[in-house]
C-alpha cells in the first residue's frame, strides 16, 4: 500500500475512529437490553406479525441523513482510463453514524476511505495502488420536517504520497443535503465544495465542487431503483478539463444475513463528460451492513 508510515497511522486512526463512533452511536441509541436476546432487530420486523420491513430500511438508506447506522462497502470498476484504456478499481469504506443532539437535532457523521488501484495515466507512467484522500463529512440535521436537510463541514485529508491517488493537500469547505420523500419516492441532492488550506505546497491547489442529485424508487418487497450523478468540477484544471459527469443506474435489495439486515447493490454508469484520460463507463457493486436503532 502506498504512502508513508505517517499516512498508514492516519489510515488506522481514521478506521479506528469510524469503528469506535459506529459502536458508540449504536450503543447510545440501543437503550435497554431486550428481555428476549434472541428476538430479531426491532426495525427489521413490523408490528403486525413480525414480517420483514425491508422497504422501511431501504427508504431510510436512500436518505443520506437518516437516523440509521450503516456501514457501506462500495466497489467500483471504471473502464477506458488513461492512454491505454485501462481499468481503475476503487473500494470505498464509508460508515454513516447518527448522534442525537437533544430532542430536535441529529449530527450525522460520514467518513469515506477509498482504496484505489490506478492504471497508467500518462504515457511512460506507472500504475499505482494505495489510499486516496479520506473525506469526513458532518451534517447537522433537524429530526422533524416535511423536507429533510442537513448542513455542515466537509474535510479532505491527504492519506498518500502517490500523486495519482490523492491531492497531497489538506482541504475543507461546506456541505449540504436536501431531500423529499413522498410515498415510495426519494428525491434530492447533496453538494460540497473544498479548498486546500495546507499540505504539500508543490502540489496543485484544491478548488473543487461535488454535486450529487439523486432519485430513488422503493418497492414494498425491499427493492430500490436509483438514478443519480456524482458530478465533480475541478476549477484548477485546464479549460475543457474541469468536469467529470457520470450517470449512475443501480438496483438495491434489502435482505437478511443471518439475523443482520443488509442491502446489496449492483449498478452501471456512463460518463457524459470527463477530462482527457477519464473513464468511459463503469460498474458498481455494493454491500451495506445495517444497524437498526431501537425506538
Least confident of 55-59, 78-82, 107-111: 55-59
In a domain, 217, yes or no: yes
Say yes or no to pLDDT of 239 above 90.
Answer: yes
CATH number of the domain enclosing 188? 2.40.160.40
* Structural domain count, the chain: 1
> What's the confidence (pLDDT) of residue 37?
38
* Confidence class for position 58, pLDDT limits 50, 70, 90: confident
Strands 231-234 and 243-257 turn out to be: antiparallel
Domain that holds residue 211: 5-27+57-291
Q: Check residues 233 and 10 and name the one with the higher pLDDT.
A: 233
Tens digits of residue pLDDT in 126-163: 999 999 999 999 999 999 888 999 999 999 999 988 99
Q: Residue count of the chain, please give it.
A: 295
In a domain, 223, yes or no: yes
Q: Could you tell me which residues are beta bridge partners of residue 114?
A: 92
Q: Could you tell me which residues are beta bridge partners of residue 254?
A: 263
In a domain, 33, yes or no: no
Say yes or no to pLDDT of 259 above 60.
Answer: yes
In a domain, 152, yes or no: yes
* Average confidence (pLDDT) over 98-103: 92
**Residue partners of 184: CB distance under 8 A and separation at least 6:** 55, 59, 217, 218, 219
In a domain, 172, yes or no: yes
* Average confidence (pLDDT) over 226-232: 97
Residues 215, 225: Cα–Cα separation, whole Å: 8
* Confidence class for position 295, pLDDT limits 50, 70, 90: low
Residues 263, 259: Cα–Cα separation, whole Å: 13
In a domain, 34, yes or no: no
Say yes or no to pLDDT of 49 above 70.
Answer: no
Say yes or no to pLDDT of 38 above 70.
Answer: no
Say yes or no to pLDDT of 46 above 80.
Answer: no
3-class SS of residue 167: coil
Instruction: Say if CB 271 and CB 245 are below 8 A apart.
Output: yes
In a domain, 46, yes or no: no
Could you give the count of Cα atoms lying within 13 Å of 72 in the half-sphere of its Cβ? 26
Say yes or no to pLDDT of 190 above 70.
Answer: yes
In a domain, 255, yes or no: yes
Q: Report CA-CA distances (Å) from 204 to 170, 235, 237.
A: 12, 11, 9
Please classify residue 202 by burial: count the beta carbons closer than 10 Å to its beta carbon, then call 0-12 exposed, 13-18 middle and 19+ buried.
Answer: exposed
Q: Long-range contacts: 83-86, Cβ < 8 Å, 24+?
A: 83/120, 83/121, 83/122, 83/123, 83/277, 84/119, 84/120, 86/119, 86/120, 86/127
Q: What percentage of the chain has pLDDT greater than the value 70?
A: 81
Amino acid at each position: 500500500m502506498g504512502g508513508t508510515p505517517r499516512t498508514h497511522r492516519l489510515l488506522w486512526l481514521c478506521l479506528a475512529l469510524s469503528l469506535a463512533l459506529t459502536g458508540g452511536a449504536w450503543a447510545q441509541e440501543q437503550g435497554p437490553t431486550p428481555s428476549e436476546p434472541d428476538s430479531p432487530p426491532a426495525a427489521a420486523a413490523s408490528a403486525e406479525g413480525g414480517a420483514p420491513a425491508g422497504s422501511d430500511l431501504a427508504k431510510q438508506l436512500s436518505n443520506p441523513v437518516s437516523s440509521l447506522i450503516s456501514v457501506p462497502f462500495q466497489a467500483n470498476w471504471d473502464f477506458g482510463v488513461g492512454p491505454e484504456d485501462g481499468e481503475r478499481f476503487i473500494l470505498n469504506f464509508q460508515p454513516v453514524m447518527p448522534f442525537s443532539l437533544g430532542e430536535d437535532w441529529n449530527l450525522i457523521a460520514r467518513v469515506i476511505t477509498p482504496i484505489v488501484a490506478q492504471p497508467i495515466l500518462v504515457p511512460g507512467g506507472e500504475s499505482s495502488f494505495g489510499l486516496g484522500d479520506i473525506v469526513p463529512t458532518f451534517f447537522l440535521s433537524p429530526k422533524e420536517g416535511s423536507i429533510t436537510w442537513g448542513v455542515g463541514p466537509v474535510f479532505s485529508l491527504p492519506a498518500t504520497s502517490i500523486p495519482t491517488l490523492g491531492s497531497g493537500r489538506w482541504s475543507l469547505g461546506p456541505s449540504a443535503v436536501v431531500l423529499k420523500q413522498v410515498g415510495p419516492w426519494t428525491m434530492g441532492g447533496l453538494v460540497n465544495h473544498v479548498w486546500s488550506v495546507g499540505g504539500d505546497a508543490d502540489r496543485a491547489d484544491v478548488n473543487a465542487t461535488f454535486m450529487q442529485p439523486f432519485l430513488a424508487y422503493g418497492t414494498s418487497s425491499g427493492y430500490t431503483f436509483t438514478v443519480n450523478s456524482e458530478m465533480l468540477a475541478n476549477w484548477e484544471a485546464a479549460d475543457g478539463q474541469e468536469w467529470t459527469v457520470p450517470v449512475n443506474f443501480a438496483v438495491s435489495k434489502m435482505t437478511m444475513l443471518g439475523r443482520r439486515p443488509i442491502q446489496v447493490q449492483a449498478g452501471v454508469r456512463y460518463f457524459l463528460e470527463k477530462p482527457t484520460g477519464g473513464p468511459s463507463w463503469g460498474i458498481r457493486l455494493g454491500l451495506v451492513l445495517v444497524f437498526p436503532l431501537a425506538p
